[in-house]
Every structure is written in C-alpha cells, then in structure tokens.
C-alpha cells in the first residue's frame, strides 16, 4: 500500500464506524446499472447525466434539464375565450365589485366573456391582459392585485410608508389604487 492510499474508500470506512449499512455492491448482487442507463448517459453527452446517488450508483435517467432559481410566476390564471373586439390586444383591471376598468377604447360589455373566463378561477380584484389569436379566440391572463382607496392622494401614482411598510400605488379609477405593499 502506498503512503497515501487507503484499502477502502473513506465513505465506506466512515459508514462502518457509524454503524451504517451501505447495502450490497452491484458486483455482489450480480446487477450493475442497466444497459438503458448506460445508453442514456452515453447518448445524453452531459445533458441528462447526473452525479451518482448516495450509494455511488448512476441515476438511470439523470437530473432534470432545468437548473437555477425558477422565475417568479407572472400570471395566476391563463384562459381562452371567444370575443369580438376592434383591437388585437386589451388590458383591463377588475375591481372588487366586478367593475372592469379598460385601458383601450372598446365597446361596453365586450370584455364580459374574457372576464368570465378568468373569474372561473380567480375572483376580483385582478389585472388582466388579453391577446387575439385566431377565429375570435382570445388568450387572456390575469394576476391578483390589492386595491385600496386613497381619497386624498394627488396624481396617478403614490409612494408612502405606512405601519412599517412601503406602499406603492397606481391609480385605477377615482380614489382607487392598485397597490404593492412591501415590508421595510
């Protein structure tokens, strides 16, 4: 044995000292990794390959091909609905009482089917965007919002500190603001 060589791997020595059973070695059971696992590792060329599991055996299908921190979800609901509108894209907000505030110039009541498609899953208040696809079908997506009333606010935007929170708001209609509340 060389100067720095071990007769057994360190993880096996430590497991034995701790009284842990690592299970049989693949050579002891007569079964190693399947041919499919070997093929997947060989053909994947690093995409699906994975580090060995806690027993040193290769994972047959590898790790998920997505890594890192997932992006924050932009929409709470995505749906489709039929509507006849004179525009190709529309943005609207639903107030807690169900009233729709529309950014574009569209006929009254024309957004009802889009709002109903969202409200199957998400109750008002919410902010929504819809995009015309084909044959009168629209893709509509919405996110929950927090709506508060600020009767003395001037301007269309506000920023204030309240009860240890930062409140940033954008006027929806009258004294109603869509707000984002963040702790200090």
Taking the chain (184 residues) in consecutive chunks of 10 residues, what is each chunk's mean pLDDT? 68 81 64 57 50 59 56 86 92 92 88 93 93 91 93 90 92 91 89
- Overall pTM surpassing 0.85 (yes/no): no
Structural contact between residues 133 and 141, judged by C-beta atoms closer than 8 angstroms: no
The DSSP bridge partners found for residue 179 are 146, 169
Distance CA 69, CA 169 (A): 28
Give residue 18's pLDDT.
Answer: 81
Give residue 47's pLDDT.
Answer: 45
Give residue 103's pLDDT.
Answer: 85
Give residue 51's pLDDT.
Answer: 57
Sign of CA dihedral 47, 52, 57, 62: negative
Structural contact between residues 142 and 74, judged by C-beta atoms closer than 8 angstroms: no
Q: What is the CA radius of gyration of the chain?
A: 29
């Amino acid at each position: 044995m060389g100067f720095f060589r071990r007769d057994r791997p360190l993880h096996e020595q430590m497991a034995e000292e701790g009284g842990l059973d690592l299970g049989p070695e693949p050579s002891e059971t007569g079964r190693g990794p399947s041919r499919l696992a070997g093929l997947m590792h060989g053909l994947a060329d690093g995409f699906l390959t994975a580090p060995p599991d806690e027993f040193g055996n290769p994972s047959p299908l590898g790790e998920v091909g997505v890594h890192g921190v997932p992006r924050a979800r932009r929409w709470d609901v995505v749906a489709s609905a039929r509507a006849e509108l004179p525009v190709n894209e529309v943005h609207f907000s639903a107030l807690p009482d169900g009233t729709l505030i529309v950014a574009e110039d569209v006929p009254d009541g024309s957004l009802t089917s889009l709002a109903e498609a969202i409200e199957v899953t998400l109750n008002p208040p919410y902010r929504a965007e819809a995009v015309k696809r084909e044959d009168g079908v629209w893709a509509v997506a919405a996110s929950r919002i927090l709506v508060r009333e600020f009767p003395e606010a001037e301007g269309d935007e506000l920023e204030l500190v309240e009860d240890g929170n930062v409140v940033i708001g954008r006027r929806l209609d009258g004294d109603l603001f869509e707000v984002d509340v963040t702790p200090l």
